[in-house]
Chains A and B, each alone.
Chain A
Amino acid sequence: MAHELPYIAAIDEAIRLEMERDERVLYFGQNMATTENEPYVDAFGADRVRVTPISETAEIGIAIGAALAGFRPVVELYMAEFMLVAMDQVVNEAPRFRAMSGGQVSVPIVLKAGYGFTAGWAGQHTGTLGALFMGVPGLKVAVPATAADAKGLMATAIRDDNPVVYLHHYLLTLEHGEVPDGEYLVPFGHASVRREGSDLTIVATGWMVDRALGAADRLASEGVQAEVIDPRTLEPLDTHTILESVEKTGHLVLVDQATRHASASTVIAGEVAEHGFSSLKAPIVQVTALDATIPYSEPLEAWVLPNEDKIVAAAQQVLGLAPVNA
């Protein structure tokens, strides 16, 4: 059985179910004392649900310490950029301790943050930062694109024994979707094939998945069948599913809201170039954000981001249906 929920409520449902299931799960962060979070305090008590000051280094560091001591904290960070305030704890503490201790300890924490808020939030609250973390051995990175995945990936993140950067896309916050009832887990490292096709593979994550599906619909009207794949987690990355698809289609377009050299698409392009070169019938094309600080003004913001038109154009280029852009 399933029920319909907004994406953000699906995340909430997963946290609540995991907190009911396992009393080691803690949930804390800034503004946790606000009305929307009072039910958590009522349900799970002030030991397990706490509001913190604006202290990201301490919040994430405290989560690490509580995890080392046997708990499973979820840190509510609100925006991905706030993790940058505590980059040491995210990149150089949480993912290091298991290795440096020779396997004596583990750090099961979830760093929950929204990202990609390209709705006029300007230069410092709109980044698509997931790929910054996929290059850090020891971290896992989840980037759900649907309400069901939002729930299932959060539950998996909380049960994972490693630090997980869980990034929910702000533009999907109120998107509704069918969500399975009760316990629901989406395994990490298993891509979702959102649309099957034989002519072209499009890989996209987060808010870009719906843009890619829209582009695929338009391509279908021209007789092109695009396969659309959402990796769902950047680390572990399901290169197997992508390579299998490329073997079938021979054409690959990678879509990423991040700027190119900080994008997952660049990493995927490298993997496919190395392991799937003989399958490719044309060069890979990447549709990423332009290398710019996201501008405030609406037409400028739209101009630097990937969109359906750019994805369609890239597909046509890969398939030799349109002139290559100079």
Chain B
Amino acid sequence: MSALDRNRQVCIYEQMLRIREFEERVKGTFEEHPGVIRGHTHLADGAEASIVGSIATLGPEDRFFTTYRCHGYPLARGTDPKAMMAEIYGRKDGLCKGIGGSMHLTDVSNGFLGTSGIVAAGIPHATGAAWAAQIRKQGQVVLCFFGDGASKQGAFSESLNIASLWRLPIVYVMENNGYNVHTRTEQEDANRANGDDLSVKAKAFSMPGVTIDGRDPIEVYETVGSAVERARAGEGPTLVESQMYRLSAHGNIIAPPGVPLHFPEHEAIEKFGAPEEYEAAKRGDPVPAFRGRLVGEGSLTPEEADAIAERARAEMEAAVQFALASPFPEVETALEFVYA
């Protein structure tokens, strides 16, 4: 993968900040506009470096599949945040016409072919799209994002076995944020419990496995980029474990009082009584860290960084206002797309 010049590094920072700002506005909506967001949303704060570093490796014809924590990737890929916010608000102008909601964002025009809300279910979908790419022989690559929790599902093992067997052009990016919902990785993963990185799972499928610091967008870009080049060259799949820390609780929901469906603060604080763990993770927050690095290296002045932040704020404020102003879909839309 070619090294990132100054402009692309700044662009990566801007995308990270856009994701952070978007997610802040989603989170804020629960208080600013109670009832506007229904059900469950899952935020990407803490994952921005991994998301943008990965998406930046894709060419225009490449495709990607994600988990229900799916707001960040399409933003980095060029999807309109107005349509995304309108979707999360269940409105007519939503990306998926208000039928999908937060967990099922899809933007075919940007290579984002659909999102399952079931843990690991999207892994075989991405693998199938990689088979399609292999048949087409046009050098397309598929990025498949999923969490550490998904790697204990059969869908994970079955898919990686076939991908390696068929040498499919796919890169599996496992975002290990340390928790599956409210359970710590070492409580449910044999590799982690025995002190191993989760990328050792690749060995079972005879494919390369590598563990990286997912809070460093440059490291992510270089590692995922090498795997993408390998896939494009017909050399088969790679498993990348991208380590990070989720900075919000598992999900944000409106729950009836007294129903313990979620934690208002991160599980480290609420469930495990480890605020120091969370504070340490905040100190390693990839967004300010990358800003500090770019400013420190002279790639970005503080004034330029502030201007980027202001642009992101204005853009996402406009997204909120657009979504609030968008009407609800006609109720008959519910039946329009059941069958093709």
Interface residues of A, Cβ cutoff 8 Å to B: 26, 47-48, 50, 52-53, 55, 57-58, 60-71, 73, 88-89, 92-93, 96-106, 108, 137-138, 140, 161-162
A55-B161, A99-B338 given as contacts; is B100 within 8 A of A93 (CB)? no
Contacting chain A: which of B125-133, B246-254, B261-269?
B125-133
Interface residue from A50, A69, A106 paired with B340 (Cβ < 8 Å): A106
- The answer to whether the Cβ of B124 comes within 8 Å of any Cβ in the partner chain is yes
What's the Cα separation between A101 and B65 when bound, in Å? Answer: 13
Asked if A93 and B121 sit within 8 Å, CB to CB, the answer is yes
Asked if B106 and A104 sit within 8 Å, CB to CB, the answer is yes
What's the Cα separation between A320 and B274 when bound, in Å? Answer: 76
What's the Cα separation between A62 and B131 when bound, in Å? Answer: 8
Q: In the assembled complex, which residues on chain A have CB atoms less than 8 Å from the CB atom of B104?
A: 96, 100-101
Q: What is the 8 Å Cβ interface bit string for chain B, positions 305-340, against chain A (1 contact, 0 not)?
A: 000000000000000000000000000000011111
What's the Cα separation between A92 and B118 when bound, in Å? Answer: 9
Minimum distance in angstroms from B219 CB to a CB of chain A: 28
Q: Number of B residues whose C-beta is below 8 Å from A? A: 45
Q: What is the 8 Å Cβ interface bit string for chain B, positions 29-56, against chain A (1 contact, 0 not)?
A: 0000000000000000000000000000
Interface residue from A58, A67, A105 paired with B127 (Cβ < 8 Å): A58
Asked if A162 and B123 sit within 8 Å, CB to CB, the answer is no
Asked if B100 and A71 sit within 8 Å, CB to CB, the answer is no
Minimum distance in angstroms from A188 CB to a CB of chain B: 10
Q: What is the 8 Å Cβ interface bit string for chain B, positions 197-225, against chain A (1 contact, 0 not)?
A: 00000000000000000000000000000
Asked if B125 and A65 sit within 8 Å, CB to CB, the answer is yes
What's the Cα separation between A92 and B68 when bound, in Å? Answer: 14
A69-B133, A101-B104 given as contacts; is B125 within 8 A of A64 (CB)? yes
Asked if B96 and A69 sit within 8 Å, CB to CB, the answer is no
What's the Cα separation between A106 and B104 when bound, in Å? Answer: 14
- The answer to whether the Cβ of B286 comes within 8 Å of any Cβ in the partner chain is no
Minimum distance in angstroms from B164 CB to a CB of chain A: 11
| Most chain A Cβ neighbours within 10 Å, of B126, B133, B155 | B155
Query: Which chain B residues in 226-264 approach chain A with CB under 8 Å?
Result: none
Asked if B100 and A102 sit within 8 Å, CB to CB, the answer is yes
Minimum distance in angstroms from A23 CB to a CB of chain B: 9
- The answer to whether the Cβ of B11 comes within 8 Å of any Cβ in the partner chain is no
Asked if A105 and B108 sit within 8 Å, CB to CB, the answer is yes
What's the Cα separation between A70 and B131 when bound, in Å? Answer: 11
A50-B166, A53-B162, A71-B135 given as contacts; is B98 within 8 A of A102 (CB)? yes
Asked if B95 and A102 sit within 8 Å, CB to CB, the answer is yes
What's the Cα separation between A99 and B336 when bound, in Å? Answer: 8
What's the Cα separation between A63 and B130 when bound, in Å? Answer: 11
What's the Cα separation between A99 and B115 when bound, in Å? Answer: 12
| Most chain A Cβ neighbours within 10 Å, of B98, B113, B123, B154 | B113
Interface residue from B100, B126, B130, B154 paired with A57 (Cβ < 8 Å): B154
Interface residue from B96, B124, B154 paired with A102 (Cβ < 8 Å): B96
Asked if B106 and A105 sit within 8 Å, CB to CB, the answer is yes
Q: In the assembled complex, which residues on chain B have CB atoms less than 8 Å from the CB atom of A47?
A: 134-135
Interface residue from B118, B132, B159, B340 paired with A93 (Cβ < 8 Å): B118
5 pairs, A vs B, C-beta closer than 8 Å: A53-B161, A55-B158, A60-B124, A61-B155, A93-B125
Interface residue from B63, B108, B116 paired with A104 (Cβ < 8 Å): B108
Q: In the assembled complex, which residues on chain A have CB atoms less than 8 Å from the CB atom of B113?
A: 65, 68-69, 105
Minimum distance in angstroms from A51 CB to a CB of chain B: 10
Q: In the assembled complex, which residues on chain A have CB atoms less than 8 Å from the CB atom of B99?
A: 99-102
Query: Which chain B residues in 147-162 approach chain A with CB under 8 Å?
Result: 154-155, 158-159, 161-162
